[in-house]
Amino acid sequence: MTLRLSFSGLARLRALLATFVVVGCTAGGPPPVAPRPVAPPPAVVVQPESAESAAARAYYGQVQQALLSQGLLRTDGGGPDTPFTDRMLAENFLRIALFDEYTRTSTATVQKQSAAELRRWVAPVRVGLNFGPSVSADMRATDTARIASYLQRLSSLTGHPIRLDDANPNFHIYVVNEDERRALGPVLRAAMPDLTSNDVAGITSLPKSTYCIVYAQSQGASGVYDRAFAVIRAEHPDLLRLSCYHEEIAQALGLPNDSPTVRPTIFNDDEEFALLTVQDEMMLKILYNPALRPGMTLQEARPIVERLASQLLGGES
C-alpha cells in the first residue's frame, strides 16, 4: 500500500496568527383514493457546540479575515499577473504530480520532498459526504450542492467518472468539528484498514496549524488510487472551507505535492488562491490524458507531459 498525504494551511497559518403534493379531482369515476402519507425527511439535530469548537470557529474566522486583508484566498483563477508558458506548465505538473510533499514511516510523517510514481484513479471516484452532528442543515445543503458541482467540473476536466455516491463510496469526506474529529478513529480504520496508528493519529490529533487533510491510497507501486479519506474542519468560515474542498479533492485525484514556486495554483501553502485555477485545470487534464499511465516515473512521463502542455498552450515558450 502506498499512502500519500495532503495537509493544507501549515506555513501560512503560523505566519498569520499569529415536499409538495398536488391532489386532483375529476368529476365522475371511482371515488378518489387517499394518498399514502409521506414521511418527512429526518430532522437534523444539531449538537451543542463545545467551548473548544467555538474557540476554533472564532480562530479560523480570524485566519480567513487576515488572509483576505492581504489579498489572498483569490477566487479569480489567475490573471495577467500570473502568466505561465507551456514549459512552465510542464515543469509545474511534474513537480506537483510526481513528487510527494511528505515522507511516511511506521512511526512518523515528515515534511520531505521525494520523487514518486504518477498516480491517479482508474475506477470511478464515488464520493461519500458525511457531516458531523454539529453541522447545521443549511450548511449541509450548501456544501452538498457546492461539492456536487465541483465534482461535475472535475469529471468534465479529467474525462473520468467522479460523483457523489453515499451508497458505495471509495472516497470519504468528513466535515466535523473538534470533538467529532477526535472520535473518527474507528470510522477511519474501517474505511482504510491498512492505515497505521500514526496515520490515524494524524487526523484525530490534527494540529491547529493544519486546515484540512486527505489520505489517498494506492496498492503497491501500481500508482492506481483505490480509496481516499478527507477531513474538513466544520469550524471554518465559508471560503476557507470551500478552499479545503477544492484542494483536498483535487490533490487526492493525483496531484499530491505543494510547491512554493508554482503559480497560479491551489497547490501552494501560501494560500494565494482559494479555488482551482486555470493552470490547475490544465494539470488535471494532463494527469488524466490517456497518453500517461499510472506508475510512470518522472523520466518516463516528462516527454509526454511536455508535449501535452505544448498542445494545451499552443506551443508558447
231 in Cβ contact with 184 (< 8 Å): yes
Query: All 3 cell numbers of residue 44?
Result: 437534523
Alpha-carbon distance of 169 to 186, in angstroms, equals 17
43 exposed, middle or buried (CB, 10 Å; 0-12, 13-18, 19+)?
exposed
- Within 8 A by CB and 6+ apart from 260, the residues are 268, 269, 270
Query: What global pTM score does this model have?
Result: 0.86
- Which range has the worst mean pLDDT, 2-11, 121-130, 307-316? 2-11
Residue with cell 476554533: 56
Q: What integer pLDDT is reported at residue 46 of this predicted model? A: 67
Compute the residue count for the chain.
317
pLDDT of the residue at 210? 95
At residue 107, the pLDDT reads 61
What digits encode the pLDDT tens for the residues 71-81?
999 999 999 99
**pLDDT digits 0-9 by tens, 215-251:** 999 988 899 999 999 999 999 999 999 999 999 999 9
pLDDT of 296 > 60? The answer is: yes
User: Percentage of residues in the chain with pLDDT exceeding 70?
Assistant: 81
**Cα-based torsion angle of the residue sequence 311, 313, 316, 317 in order, rounded to the nearest 10 degrees:** -90
CATH superfamily label, 2-12+72-312: Collagenase (Catalytic Domain) (3.40.390.10)
- Find the helix or strand (DSSP H, E) in which 102 lies: strand 99-104
pLDDT of residue 43: 54
* Residue 129, beta-bridge partner list: 173
Task: Return the pLDDT at 33.
Answer: 41
pLDDT in tens, 139-186: 999 999 999 999 999 999 999 999 999 999 999 999 999 999 999 999
Give residue 111's pLDDT: 64
pLDDT of 219 reads: 81
What confidence score (pLDDT) does residue 265 get?
Answer: 97
Query: What backbone torsions phi and psi does residue 120 show, to the nearest 5 degrees?
Result: -165, 175
At residue 24, the pLDDT reads 29
Output the pLDDT for position 283: 98
**What is the model's pLDDT at position 31?**
41
| Secondary element (H or E) of residue 92 | helix 86-97
84 exposure class (CB count in 10 Å sphere: 0-12, 13-18, 19+): buried
Burial 276-313 (b: 16+ CB within 10 A, else e): bbebbbbbbbbbbbeebebbbebeebbebbbebbbebb
Asked if residue 293 has pLDDT above 60, the reply is yes
The confidence score (pLDDT) of residue 223 equals 95
How high is the mean pLDDT of the chain? 87
